[in-house]
Structure 1
Amino acid sequence: MFTNEEIASFNALEASLYNYISQNSEKVAYMRIRELADETHVSTATILRFCRKNNCDGFSEFKVKLKLHLEKDKTTVVKPGQHSITEFFERTLTGNIDEKIHQAVSIVAKAETVIFIGIGSSGILAEYGARYFSSLGKFSMYIKDPLFPIRTQLLNNSATIALSVSGESNYTITHINQLKQEGSKIISITNSKHSTIATISDVNIPYYVTQERYENSDITTQVPVVYILETLARELYKRND
């Protein structure tokens, strides 16, 4: 409903108005402008200025926008877990995922250094992947800090496993470009093979599940990523053994 840029532009009165609306959205959607002014102890002029900062010509348009936002939240349906797993099995495991995994394992097996990268929930899985690989004998590191400096000769013979649901994370793309310049081979695990990260990778393993969002959070299942990471590690162990 409100962007970071809009919130940053609010003065003290507009900020108090924003706080009231955020906590009383259902009520505000059916208020008159004078009622809102009385409740928040600001002038109607302040409310109109607030509406214009949020790209609305007036309070009536702002209320329409607010009602649409509330209606969207109500219609969000969180699918049961088994739906996502079934989708993964039907769309991905019937394809050429085994071939992609073998290609990735060949790259990792030759690498002296293995680095996992990701941001947000993908960063958490990057940490998990590095630990799982290390547990099966292939020492690995992870980077989930978007500002982590990457400049070292250790990357000349390395493999990077990049995790991203959308495949469009700017921070991860920046890291991949830096790692490629240092000589690292890139393996990406994304939700689609048509993303930027998939395109610039040496090997991409897509898993194709429906992306889901709840309010401002990405709640797309990460079970396929765990499956792929563990399969990669186990296949690598079998090859080395």
Structure 2
Amino acid sequence: MFSAPNPMYSNKDYLNCIDYAKIHYGGKHVRDAPYLIMEHPFCNTDTYLIYFHAKDEDMQLKSPYFHRNYAQQFIYEIQQSCKFNAILSEYPGYGIYQNVNAHDSIVEQDALQLFDHIQDKYKLKNNQIIVFGRSIGTGPAFYINSLRQCRAVIALSSFTSIRDIIKEKTFEWVANLIPTKFDNLQRAQSAKSPMLLIHGAEDDIVNKQHTEILFANLPNKVKAQSVKRIRPDMTHNDYIFEHDIIAPIQLFFPDLSIQQRFRY
């Protein structure tokens, strides 16, 4: 589930914008995980968003497919309407993060230590950090939310587990052969921070029911502060950016909205 696309960028493409979080395991430094720093292009802000991108992309600027935004462009577009600096996490085997096997437990380990690294580096309080996961990136996002407190978590096109997706696409006995990876349903039940869950009603890759189930299983206290948005006509990759992505985020974080351009 974590086969990486061919690298679409190198260190020289981002000059001084890439930094590294030191990852420790068993008390030992085992690797350095790269991340991209995107300060807000025209606003001063002390809010940071940590973004975990989708499966078939990396931190590069644009997809070769004109109708899809890749991680940096995707976040840059949101920054035009929302005040936050951004940290884009990279996965093992993706982009410049090579020579490390891509595995869900490795991704989760990186994500949690990146969260702690960013909080320490920028001296941030919990309410100054937002975590955002898209598609496969909702795995590390839900994992962080089960262990750390932050201002909120945005989950776009989330799933209950990888096994559940496979079960919908093939025979149940085949899915039962797959170890449970990114068990978002279990993590949802331990969620510590409010969530904004966005899903396309016409998503044919991850059915909207996944988000419905995840929302229903949030702890009552968290659910009371959370919002679920099922967007009509939106699919996994095709959406009206301003209405399906930006407007729900602006409504959820009104103090971070640069201008209220849209009604939802």
For normalisation by structure 1, the TM-score amounts to 0.33
For normalisation by structure 2, the TM-score amounts to 0.31
Q: Larger % of strand: which?
A: 2
Kindly name which structure, 1 or 2, has the bigger radius of gyration based on alpha carbons. 1
